[in-house]
Structure 1
Amino acid sequence: MTTVRVAVAVPRIRIAQPMENAAACLELIRQADSAGVQIICFPQLCLTGFTAGDLLCNRLLLDETARALDLLVSETAHLKPMAVIGYPARDVGEAKPYNAMAFIKEGRILDNRLDTSPPSRWFLPADPKDNTDTTDIINLFKTEGIDCPVSLLFPLEKSVPDSEGIILCPSAIEGRVGALKGVELKLGKLTEGKRCAAILASAGEGESSTDYWYPGMAVVAENGKIKTSRSPFCGLEICDITVGRSHKRVMYEYTPIQDVDYKVARISKDPFMCGDTERKAREAFMIQWGALRTRLENTGINRLVLGVSGGLDSTLALLVCVKTLDMMGLDRKNLTGITMPGFGTTDRTYNNALSLMRTFGIDWREIDIKEACMLHLRDIGHDPDLHNSAYENVQARERTQILMNVANDIGALVVGTGDLSELALGWCTYNGDHMSMYAVNCGIPKTAIAPIIRYAAENELEESVRPFLNDVINTPISPELLPGGNITHRTEEIIGPYRLHDFFMWHLLNERLNPKKISTWAAHIFADEFTPDEINRWLKVFLKRFFSQQFKRSCMPDGPTVFGISLSPRGGWTMPSDISSAIWLKDLE
């Protein structure tokens, strides 16, 4: 048995800036050298950033990456650790690069391992024969008293030909609820009952938060047990592991591991928040403010604009904005909250909006939109007594216009408030509340919003806001677009209960069930609340709206995936905007 000192290194990178990223990697290697580390594992593509997109095929970026790698190699001439670093490797004559990991030690590249089934369309698949055992690495470890193989596993879903010794797992894992727990389960299973250890480094700070947030992960597992697990993480995590060569060869084949949460979700009325609700709320809230912080840091913007109505969605977005500024060490006055009373605004939501903004100490404004909306209705020749969709949408678009123009005026980013359930149903005004510069709630289903607000109120924010937050949670959901003085325009009476819609969404998109099975399953789960006819009625509404409203999702703003379901057209959910729902409705009949 041999004790080896290893390290997980997650540098703070800048997308498409290889020289800066190489310098960040070099600093971590130097720190590891000072601590006596023998092997250091970096994330995938850390010289360019995992989220560089089509630029990963750009020749200028690839050439700059090659120069950065050469510089990094030369600067490690007097450093002892073997560093395993991810980068896109250009092959002369090919239009696409390989997803590669370089084994670097003391001024030499000992080996380049190429991904045989790369994670995206931007890479060429390597021939497995190109990844044979490297004599230099084997001999090197033997001379240092480490008589065990070193395997490379990226991503985790692949098989490991020899799961003894040291397994390096360079990764780029999106932050989502339960992600770290899933990684721990996989690495524990991978090393269980074997004389081996797995070392995982996952992409972190600096990666784009366009549709996913990369929190950074440092996880080390040995013989089925987790020795260290940190996320969010940026920096160097050092750990001593004990490994050895067994007498028999062990083959590990990946099999999907469904954690307890997932199994419970399949039979739950609340598939998104069932199980450990507090943990899920904590992780979801962290993903939201972490993603927004990343967007601000990457763009250099330090001011935010938010419409605050006093409803659930805008309240959660307000909490996310406040937490983000606090975590960045910025003044809360950098957030401009604007409440915009319209034709249907009630005293309850209006007062809650004002109370929250004042209590948090943000910069706040009140802009009444009724006069502007009446003027616009006159301009387009619309009778103000005709309360149709034009009457309602004029208000939503007037509010968005105000938010966008104020943001332009003060150099800020408009934070969107729409949630995942509204996106699935298309329950938003096209180019109104549908649009923003970053949508922090787009990965949060409606049924998760109240639990997240409740968690944040009790654990993350000052006690003085709790009475107002509790009242927001207890306020009926309404767009408040029709006059009347009280909340008479209740969303769930129009489109159906969000509990059912979130159940339908989870099983349609996660389980890929057909409508008939979803209906049968819902009738069983919700037997004490809804009749089969009621369930079928609202499932038809969901299906019709889900298919007909795709055009809104086709141009939705950036925002983080939180629970593993994304409706973003950039890689979450792709579907034609003019598709028919006929066969799905027929299946339900």
Structure 2
Amino acid sequence: MAGVTGSIPVAPTIAHHNPLSEFFSLYSHDFVRVACCVPRTRVADTGYNLAETLRLAAEGDKARTAVMVFPELGLSSYAIEDLLLQDALLDEVEASIAKVVAASNKLFPVLIVGAPLRLAGRLYNTAIVIHRGAILGVVPKTYLPNYREFYEKRHFVSGANIIENTIRIAGHEAPFGTDMLFRSTGSVPLTFHVEICEDIWVPVPPSSHAALAGAELLVNLSASNITIGKAEARRLLCGSQSARAIAAYAYSASGPGESTTDLAWDGHAAIYELGDQLAETSRFEKDSTIVTADVDIGRIRQERLRNNGFADCAMIEGDRVKRFRKVDFVLEAPRGKVALERPIERFPYVPSDPAKLRDNCYEAYNIQIQGLAQRLMSSRTEKAIIGVSGGLDSTQALIVTCRAMDQLKLPRKNIYAYTLPGFGTSDKTHKNAWRLMEALGVTAAEIDIKPAAQQMLADIGHPFAQGKKVYDVTFENVQAGLRTDYLFRLANQQGGMVVGTGDLSELGLGWCTYGVGDHMSHYNPNGSVSKTLIQHLIRFVAASGDVGKDTAEILHDILDTEISPELIPAGAGGAIQSTEQSVGPYALQDFNLFYLTRLGFRPSKIAFMAWNAWHDIDKGAWPANLPAGTRRAYELGEIRHWLKLFLRRFFTNQFKRSALPNGPKISSGGSLSPRGDWRAPSDGSPDIWLAEVETVPEKVK
């Protein structure tokens, strides 16, 4: 049963039970299934409208939907003018509500239906919130449109002018007013608020204050008629409200069957989350429709934790925020598996939509160029020194450096690019490094580091110097360190700055040697670019016309090269040192990095989302021009294994991120700069996170 609590905003108790048997339920990972319903109606035919409402409610129950939203005045119909003042109709509406309440006793979803209701000699346009045989509350519409085609003040009174704060309907006593938040204290913790149609069209919607008071899901029952261009206005309003309020917004409007005396109806319903449209109906359907989305309530909570402005606004609007009553009820998750139906981006740093990907690449590329150009200009430095390996990261850094020089109207010969082959350098990367440097017209040179490395290994008594094939971390880092030593001394000699090449993914994994080239530089334009994105940046440059056809061919050849640090000589059969065999697939590790650092999700949720994204390669769209080797599935055991390795490496390598050189933040996915998005102790323990991974099953049963 529902209970009304005091006026001080209190966060819901968040129960995180996650036994292995429930791992595959979306309700175990802060997702909530929400449906917006557009039932076919008959004008003023309450019996027909009731039957269709109950039929859709049963469908929602079968789909394990938690919250179902129906249109404004859906039980009576909206466009019935003075019939709204007929006792016969209003009596039947109340009888219909009683039947919805009785039917809800055996249904899982919270049902939110629209109806005209009488109270204290006034008629209100209301939303009735029903769950498990109880009316949780009745919300009247606040803003009544009375312009152009609308004449609601002829029939209704605004919810801003209520006389009583309770209402009795069909034998049920319920809270009444616009000041209610509906809060589940069960295993599906959720707080939602209800407003009606015009309420979203005003400068300060009621849901704005409700969000500040704790509402995570904002619900709108609408009967908005359709005119040319109005659908886009609705999208803009609902999307922007969900973004501004840091919430989800569920909107459902009237559709087929409404009176068309003077108006038409398109049955527009949509669900938004933080500005993103999750789902939308196909409009102008002849029959009833339901649109469903799995809303990430955990994402909303995390964004609110990070946004100080949200909390400050709640304090400034304190009087309006504190007035809300909390209507508590119990929403318990259904037992067993409830599969996630929300599409999950496999590459969170790389949008699957080709147009959006092009826009992102354009912005990222130009952010890199602008950042480096500004640093060169402000430091009064006209020369840049860079090591070029023939791999992805140094390729992108060199391209960016060339464009920065072009922007500053400096000759590309001011770029001193060096290939520094070591014991593991392959013929392919060595040749591609030279081809690229020559194609871009930079000052190119080569320094063979093997003699110096041999001498250093001999000086410290390393077995390799005595002819033994010992390829340990010392062997690797002697080469990495020498490359950096040469580059910094060359910068001294030329009066220039060292341009860094290491990327965000390597920094997240700690797959970089402290104080050397993939970690340290004078300025690093790649520092907040993920490995999965950097490949698309190179493709973007190749297709952009910034480089010639021959250079584009070189870039594509570099893209087809396996990712390797090339510090260990090739093995039997020419097998090279593979980065991804050591630290895991970058596709998965970028996924883990994004959701851990950007959104703070617990590991079990990250694994659940990764499994939904990656276990079925035929599910969903792939980004265009995927790198070789990434178009494959990952099963739960692999996901769990690489997530554990990621967590160990991420925590133990924080000291490297605490000493990063400058570089621009590229995406909203964040950076790991200690001066930017990520500040963390270098002595942090991963034990809590690793223990939480143990709630993830090793395989699907």
TM range (shorter): 0.5 to 0.7
Q: TM-score, normalised by structure 2?
A: 0.47
1:539 paired residue number: 643
Backbone CA RMSD of aligned residues: 2.7
Which residue of structure 2 aligns with residue 370 of structure 1? 450
Q: Does 1:584 align with 2:584?
A: no
Give the alignment of 1:542-561 within 5 angstroms.
542-561=646-665
CA distance in 2, matches of 1:348, 1:392: 20
Does 2:559 match 1:462? no
Structure 1 partner of 2:566: 480
Which residue of structure 1 lines up, in the alignment, with residue 371 of structure 2? 291
Q: Distance in 1 between matches of 2:564 and 2:681?
A: 30
Q: Distance in 2 between matches of 1:559 and 1:192?
A: 42
Q: Are residue 566 (structure 1) and residue 658 (structure 2) matched?
A: no
Match status 1:505 vs 2:521 = no
Quote how far apart the aligned CAs of 1:193 are: 7.5
Give the TM-score, by structure 1 length. 0.56
1:446 and 2:525 correspond: no
Instruction: Give yes or no for contact 2:243–2:274 (8 Å, CA) kept in 1.
Output: no
The yes-or-no answer on 1:408 pairing with 2:492 is yes
**What letter corresponds to residue 556 of structure 1 in structure 2?**
L
Q: 1:403 to 1:561 in 2, by over 3 A?
A: same
Change (3 A) 1:297 1:373: same
Is 1:314 aligned to 2:402, yes or no? no
Q: Report the 3-state secondary structure (helix = DSSP H, G, I; strand = E; otherwise coil) of the residue aligned with 1:338.
A: strand
Distance 1:346 1:297 in 2: 36
**Corresponding residue for 2:124?**
none
Q: How far did residue 558 of structure 1 move?
A: 0.7
Instruction: Report if aligned partners of 2:671, 2:678 keep a CA contact under 8 Å in 1.
Output: yes
For residues 477-533 of structure 1, the C-alpha deviation after alignment (integer angstroms, 9 at most, x for no partner) is 000001127451010111110000011111112221100111111111111211111
Corresponding residue number in structure 1 for 2:178: none
Decide whether the 8 Å contact of 1:480 with 1:487 is kept in 2.
no
Within 5 Å, which residues of 2 pair with 1:124-523?
Answer: 254-256=244-246, 258-260=274-276, 267-274=344-351, 275=353, 276-384=356-464, 385=468, 386-433=470-517, 434-459=519-544, 460-484=546-570, 486=574, 488-523=576-611
Deviation at 1:575, TM superposition (A): 1.0
Q: Please give the alpha-carbon distance, in whole angstroms, between the structure 2 residues aligned to 1:378 and 1:402.
A: 19
1:267 counterpart letter in structure 2: I
Cα-to-partner distance string for 1:391-428 (whole Å, 9 max, x where unaligned): 00000000000000000111101000000000000001
Q: Give the match's secondary structure for 1:416.
A: coil
Deviations for 1:141-175, whole angstroms, at most 9, x for unmatched residues? xxxxxxxxxxxxxxxxxxxxxxxxxxxxxxxxxxx
Partner of 2:262: none
Measured in 1, the distance between the counterparts of 2:368 and 2:488 equals 21
Question: CA distance change for structure 1 residues 430 and 266 in 2, over 3 Å: closer, same or farther?
Answer: farther
**Gaps spanning 5+ residues in structure 2: where?**
1-199, 204-231, 234-240, 247-272, 279-294, 297-341, 617-632, 695-701
Amino acid corresponding to residue 346 of structure 2 in structure 1:
K
Q: Is the 8 A contact 2:397 2:499 kept in 1?
A: yes
Q: Tell me, in whole angstroms, the C-alpha distance in 1 between the residues paired with 2:396 and 2:543.
A: 14
For each residue in 1:63-109, what CA deviation from the matched residue of structure 2 results, as whole angstroms up to 9, or x when unmatched?
Answer: xxxxxxxxxxxxxxxxxxxxxxxxxxxxxxxxxxxxxxxxxxxxxxx
Residues 13-45 of structure 1 deviation map (CA, whole Å, 9 limit, x = unaligned): xxxxxxxxxxxxxxxxxxxxxxxxxxxxxxxxx
CA contact (8 A) 1:478 1:487 kept: no
Q: Secondary structure at the match of 2:416?
A: strand
Give the AA of the match of 1:272: Y
For residues 111-164 of structure 1, give each alpha carbon's deviation from its aligned partner in whole angstroms, at most 9, with x where no partner exists. xxxxxxxxxxxxxxxxxxxxxxxxxxxxxxxxxxxxxxxxxxxxxxxxxxxxxx
Task: Name the CA distance, whole Å, in 2 between partners of 1:427 and 1:356.
Answer: 25
- Cα pair 1:307 1:403 within 8 Å, conserved: yes
Shift in alpha-carbon separation, 1:494–1:253, aligned structure 2, 3 A? closer
| Residues in 2 aligned to 1:371 and 1:413: alpha-carbon distance in whole angstroms | 26
What amino acid sits opposite 2:559 in the alignment? Answer: I
Who is 1:526 aligned against?
614
Per the TM alignment, residue 259 of structure 1 is displaced from its structure 2 partner at its CA by: 4.4
One-letter amino acid of the structure 2 residue matched with residue 255 of structure 1: A
Structure 1 counterpart of 2:554, one-letter code: F
Distance in structure 2 (CA, Å) of the matches to 1:499 and 1:586: 23
Aligned length: 348
Aligned residue in 1 for 2:26: none
Please report how far the alpha carbon of residue 469 of structure 1 lies from its aligned counterpart in structure 2 after TM superposition.
0.3
Q: How much identity, in percent, do the aligned residues show?
A: 42
Contact kept? 2:242, 2:275, Cα under 8 Å: no
Aligned residue for 2:348, secondary structure, equals coil
1:461 Cα offset (Å):
2.1
In structure 2, the partner of 1:123 is none
Q: CA separation in 2, counterparts of 1:558 and 1:322?
A: 19
| Cα distance change of structure 1 residues 327 and 259 upon mapping to structure 2, 3 Å threshold | farther
Q: Please, which runs of 5 or more residues in structure 1 have no aligned partner? A: 1-190, 195-224, 227-250
Name the SS of the counterpart of 1:438 in structure 2.
Answer: coil
Amino acid of the residue matched to residue 417 of structure 1?
A: T
Q: Distance in 2 between matches of 1:535 and 1:254?
A: 34
Is the contact made by 1:476 and 1:490 (CA closer than 8 Å) also made in structure 2? yes
Cα distance, 1:331–1:266 mapped onto 2, change above 3 Å: farther
Question: Aligned partners of 1:457, 1:261: CA distance in 2, in Å?
Answer: 32
Judged with a 3 Å threshold, the aligned counterparts in structure 2 of structure 1 residues 259 and 452 are, in CA distance, closer, same or farther, namely farther
